[in-house]
Structure 1
């Protein structure tokens, strides 16, 4: 775990760049996971000559997006934005079964970045990055609720101030999951490493909603963040699929 002094310095430095949490950022790693195609195959005949149904695909995703979902991923957090320039979205956790992808929970309301979405996120653009990214690390101001992900607990996740709509930001980082966009997987969400360079932004997280748009992250209610932390299993190679509905449908 990063010491309090180092964590505080990282958090302060991140305020100067875009990132998670609308005013306090962590620094994270990019990596749309390298992915073999996973679009549906034609139905194949069973031994008795009948045609078996193709496995269920993730709903709302088009062939281009489906082709980027890693074949080994067994959990997918799908974040669907209302529109390219909207800060409103929904989040659903899916798990891959023998029959295909199935919802593992309810549809949760969420916020994304103030100006919507971008397929080439830049520092300070106030848009969330479109893409498919692995989920490997978590943390927060509050103690580990029991997640199987590596969890960094400490005061470095403290945030103050107000958001874009004047709402208080306190508690936004009580629970966070680092989205592996422009960050080094396997490190605390507070890690500063940016493989794509500082100009491509960073600190993109799933975190507790503060009832307003974010700088680039995706936020959901505290109870839903806790549920998600308890559900994600690194052995199932979880990913997040995120973007506006039109982009994801390609």
Structure 2
């Protein structure tokens, strides 16, 4: 079953995620949904993206997903967001000399991170990195380009995700 994401409401960073008949609010990038994603532009990339892996904090999220390849987030888990890095848009081990996202965070947003195949194999430098499906802030404030939902909704959706699931993001 595929997931559909669309902008919803007057603020371009507010979205609606649909899975079958179920509808969930979601946060999007501060620039809304755009077709031509660029590194650092704050947009959520329009397109059809394959669900890939799940990264999770085993100290906070006790049950990994049933149907996705899973990785435990540790204090040395990172993701390269530097277009000059040979490992651009890939997981990295910290410390890392290039710019990167830290996956071990204190704000709970990355307690569960689902990777999407946006700009992968091979990654095009500058075309956007670290586009994830993850947990939203309580106020659903904008992301840097990801799709984010509540903890409760992630607990409902995560068991349904498989490597065959697509996230369809429409402007």
Question: Are 1:203 and 2:122 counterparts?
Answer: no
The residue that corresponds to 1:49 in the other structure is none
RMSD: 1.9
Partner of 2:88: none
Q: Which residue pairs with 2:70 in the alignment? A: 151
Deviations 1:162-214 (A, max 9, x none): xxxxxxxx100111111110125xxxxxxxxxx23221011101100013100
Query: Quick one: structure 1 residues 134 and 230, their matched pair in 2 at CA, closer, same or farther if it must change by over 3 Å?
Result: same
Q: 1:84 to 1:118 in 2, by over 3 A?
A: farther
Query: When you count helix as a share of all residues, which structure comes out higher?
Result: 1
Could you tell me which of 132, 152, 163 is aligned with 1:223?
Answer: 152
* Contact 2:56/2:112 (8 A) holds in 1: yes
Take 1:150 and 1:143, find their aligned partners in 2: how far apart are those partners?
15
Q: Does structure 2 conserve the Cα–Cα contact (< 8 Å) formed by 1:177 and 1:207?
A: yes
Name which one, 1 or 2, has greater alpha-carbon Rg. Answer: 1
Structure 1, unaligned stretches of length 5 or more?
A: 1-74, 95-102, 161-169, 185-194, 245-250
Distance 1:172 1:129 in 2: 19
Q: 2:112 aligns with which of 158, 164, 175?
A: 175
- Partner Cα separation in structure 2 for residue 230 and residue 182 of structure 1: 25
Between the two proteins, the alignment pairs up a number of residues equal to: 139
Q: Distance in 1 between matches of 2:118 and 2:162?
A: 19
In structure 2, the CA distance between the partners of 1:128 and 1:85, relative to structure 1 (3 Å rule), is farther
SS at match of 1:178: strand
Q: Does structure 2 conserve the Cα–Cα contact (< 8 Å) formed by 1:144 and 1:153?
A: no
> Does the CA-based 8 Å contact 2:12-2:30 persist in structure 1?
yes
Which of 88, 106, 112 is 2:28 aligned to?
112
Normalising by structure 1, we get a TM-score of: 0.52
TM-score normalised to structure 2 length = 0.74
Runs of 4+ in 1 over 4 A off after TM superposition: none
Does the CA contact (< 8 Å) of 1:175 and 1:226 recur in 2? no
User: Residue in 2 aligned with 1:242?
Assistant: 169
More strand by share: 2
Deviation at 1:84, TM superposition (A): 9.7
Q: What CA distance in whole angstroms lies between the structure 2 residues aligned with 1:83 and 1:119?
A: 19
